[in-house]
Amino acid sequence: MQKRKLGKTNLEVSAIGLGCMGMSFGYGPPQDAQEMVSVIRAAVEHGVTFFDTAEVYGPFINEQLVGEALAPFRGQVVIATKFGFKLDPVTGKQAGLDSRPEHIKEVAEASLKRLKVDAIDLFYQHRVDPGVPIEDVAGAVKELIQEGKVKHFGLSEAGVQAIRRAHSVQPVTALQSEYSLWWREPEAEIMPALEELGIGFVPFSPLGKGYLTGKIDENTTFDSTDFRNTVPRFAPEARQANRALVDLLNNIAQRKNATSAQIALAWLLAQKPWIVPIPGTTKLHRLQENVAAATVALSEADLLDIERAASQITVQGARYSEAAQRMINR
């Protein structure tokens, strides 16, 4: 597996990481923990050194899973986790945002225990909290870095001004936000700012929450606990309307002797050398497919063909419900 550096920092990770959320949260019931341990360890064997989790995935059980799975590989892998949500003490469900400095430090202590590490490699603010100045958030993480409990500071789904303000207090190593061939908004303002500031970019949902693999159509049904049921872009009529994007990927894939998912990931890798996508999966054969995308080389002509065809396609449907959208790009 090729390696990449996130921005101007010395944080070197595999060119493709592994998003672990779906193993415990979001896409239906939690998967069997021991099976998921096997998938995570298989990822290490395939050269993946970058793993993404968060306290709210579960909550807590995803961090515990990642901690157990990666315990034999301490020092060989990079684990990213996140803070910033308030959790209901009774139900454990998200109950708003909370990035108060004292809360950030409490979350860090709990995550260290669950992950079984002495320091968190990359600690993201999960969503910008309008109730707490971003400078205070960056300052709290800076203190954790000075104490040796955190190595790198990250932001997730933050807007340009929040990124700049945070970066002025504690250098931001990476921004994690959605980016793929069917969500290209970061290209307008976010990516130029990241390039200017020397910040790496970690796209989540690089396969469009599974849609860009070509395995989902308007007749696909999701488990009742799958959050895609609430996403306008996954309404049956939107899935049907967006089929042109999958057809485009499939056409390129046939030409390159690859899969649609591999082309979608290879396209991301070709955009900037400091981009590291984190596709998630619960299946070993999909893990192997995703990892192999790092070996798919897209020529300038391929990229031009994709750009030309994609420019003719208007993706239908919002990427989040209105409630979820309100927490983004502050």
**Beta-carbon count within 10 A of 217 CB:** 12
Per the residue annotation, which of 27, 57, 179, 211 is the catalytic one?
Answer: 57
Q: Catalytic residue at 211?
A: no
> Is residue 81 within 8 Å of 50, Cβ to Cβ?
no
Residues 6+ apart with CB under 8 A from 181: 208, 212, 245, 249, 264, 267, 306, 310
Report the C-alpha gap between 43 and 247 in whole angstroms: 29
By annotation, the residues acting in catalysis are 57
